[in-house]
Structure 1
């Protein structure tokens, strides 16, 4: 186990413990020497981590402490950074902005994984969906708040219809963001490419009481799984 990984695990052990732990207990948990634990606890204290105690007495983590920007192993850091950059493909400005802020906080991840612009780890934005930011924001808010939306939608054949939808969830594909919804016009579950909405507006009608049930029915009928292909944008 590397020193970075060991310090991370040490913080986790102290956060989980409801009492002070002796250095020997921690050393046994991490399978290292007592001297190493004394040295690691001193290092954490020097970095500002609120580890209280001292050698020969015991150590405790001050309550309410959460990890600072963030301590990952190399592979964990690569996974997080790649995932954050993949959000750029959604076209959702709010998510892209949040991802950029999150990436800027990964101080330790950068130290572990190396330069954030390492040319061996690139994410292409080619072919990303071109949905309007205001449409994405309206759809995402409606999903979260469980309110119905009125929409004007152009399907893959160019036909335009007006719909009243109960938006249930967003599905992010590499080349499209898809809304799964209950459609009042078709009286069934339907899928809509978000970039094919021509107009969209929230209503004052809530379906919060039925939202969980509708999502469960959709998952069952569609056989949802992480590799679910769906019927992208059939409306």
Structure 2
């Protein structure tokens, strides 16, 4: 069993090397939950098998330029994943990015056996994803593609962007750092030359975008560095007392509003949240089901909800 497990790990390591320009030993150790010593031993096994691996201390491992094995066959589980991925991409990325992905999937299909192609078609015919809605600006179908190109090529972007507090978009030159999906929207972090600072932007608020030939003016830290700062903003601890029979209807939305835990209390469920925007975002979400829930704390949130109710026009 241990020999079989090691064999599959070594094969998986090879595919990691084949799919990436540089692979770090620590990343492999974390991925396969083994020690660094085990990874070093696996690398020696690949080298003894004739795989030309180049390694440099402090950098990582890579395959010698130009070395590739012919395409391998796919397992049934991998084919299922490809079919599912194409449907997910259709929903969660913009039209331009989906077009590129479909082209890539088409090339992969050419290596599949006839039976595998048939199975993939059958899966696709019986999978459906709802429309992405307002996730992207329809006038800018290439937004994600341009951002990804900018990050990989380290080229600045010029865009027309309308912030939530503006009636009209303004022009900004930015250096994108990274892209992430949260809630129902795509966001990206970038160094903004207009503000001379790092800012968070929402992709559906881009009205026009183009990549320039200008190289980034600075070295940026990984996206996680800026997301950690974003999450470190002061937050409120919120507790709601929700009717037990109704609580199940909140399980899909609550994670977007900082849900942390829940505890059953008789005919109620006490839910605890950490909210970064309680006065507007959380308060307005609460009003959607306020007839089935009570705010336990904080008192300030109750005040926010009452203020919103007082301004309701009927």
Give the shorter-chain TM-score range. 0.5 to 0.7
Q: Could you tell which deviates more after superposition, 189-198 or 117-126?
A: 117-126
Q: Could you tell me which of 127, 149, 166 is aligned with 2:157?
A: 149
| Greater relative contact order, per chain length (Cα 8 Å cut-off, separation 6+) | 1
Aligned residue number for residue 137 of structure 1:
145
Q: Could you tell me which of 170, 177, 183 is aligned with 1:161?
A: 170
Q: Distance in 2 between matches of 1:105 and 1:201?
A: 30
- SS of equivalent to 2:121: coil
- Contact 2:156–2:216 (Cα < 8 Å) also in 1: yes
Q: Distance in 2 between matches of 1:119 and 1:98?
A: 15
Query: Size of the alignment, in residue pairs?
Result: 175
- 2:186 equivalent to 1:183: no
- SS of equivalent to 1:141: helix
CA shift, 1:185, in A, is 3.3
Q: Distance in 2 between matches of 1:18 and 1:142?
A: 39
Q: Could you tell me which of 221, 229, 234 is aligned with 2:229?
A: 221
RMSD: 4.2
Q: Could you tell me which of 52, 66, 71 is aligned with 1:67?
A: 71
CA shift, 1:152, in A, is 1.8
Aligned residue number for residue 84 of structure 1:
86
Q: Structure 2: where are the runs of 5+ without partners?
A: 1-7, 15-45, 51-66, 233-254, 259-275, 277-314
CA 1:187–1:113 in structure 2 vs 1: closer, same or farther (change >3 Å)? Answer: farther
Q: Could you tell me which of 111, 116, 128 is aligned with 2:116?
A: 111
CA shift, 1:125, in A, is 4.3
- SS of equivalent to 1:81: helix
Q: Distance in 1 between matches of 2:120 and 2:224?
A: 42
Q: Structure 1: where are the runs of 5+ without partners?
A: 1-8, 21-62
TM-score by length of 2: 0.43
TM-score by length of 1: 0.55
- SS of equivalent to 2:219: helix
Aligned residue number for residue 170 of structure 1:
179
Q: Could you tell me which of 200, 205, 228 is aligned with 2:214?
A: 205
- SS of equivalent to 1:93: helix
- SS of equivalent to 1:140: helix
Q: Could you tell which deviates more after superposition, 160-169 or 195-204?
A: 195-204
Q: Distance in 1 between matches of 2:124 and 2:209?
A: 40
